[in-house]
Amino acid sequence: MIYVSRHEHFNAAHKLYNSSWTKEKNEEVFGPCANENWHGHNFDLIVTVKGEPNQDTGFVVDLKKLSTLIRKEVIEVFDHKNLNLDVEVMRGKMASTENMAIEIWKILQSTLPNITSTARLHCVKLYETPRNFVEYFG
């Protein structure tokens, strides 16, 4: 078994704001992340799949195809968007990196079979800043 990873990136705006709470409670819990006028990040996304290398190509998965898949199914959806307003899969959920990673996993889990019949999704790693990141293994 070999683990193969591809690094992509996107930029987005969001705020951390629980609409069932008062403004004061949101500011107490989320601090400046609750700014009602939004803030934003450069997100770095690393997607890892696992499998056996194909004898003919030497590839677990064609990384150009994996890159194209991630760009079409994930980057198109999240890039230059407002995570609270523009992204269907985030609707009704807190716009945290944790929840983003879970939704990105779901998207890739259902679309990875479009480019490979043998490799399986292993990990979605998402950096919100160079110092804060999450990993989800399904």
In the numeric block, which tokens belong to residue 69?
Answer: 């898949």
Shortest separation between residue 34's beta carbon and a second copy, angstroms: 9
Nearer to a second copy, 40 or 111 (CB): 40
The H or E element spanning position 67 is helix 63-70
Nearer to a second copy, 30 or 106 (CB): 30
Shortest separation between residue 122's beta carbon and a second copy, angstroms: 10
Nearer to a second copy, 54 or 110 (CB): 54
Q: Which active-site residues does the annotation give? A: 33, 80, 128
Q: Site residues (CB under 8 A) for a second copy?
A: 1-9, 11-14, 16, 18, 20-21, 29-33, 35, 37-42, 48, 53, 56-60, 62-64, 79-82, 85-86, 93-99, 101-102, 129-137
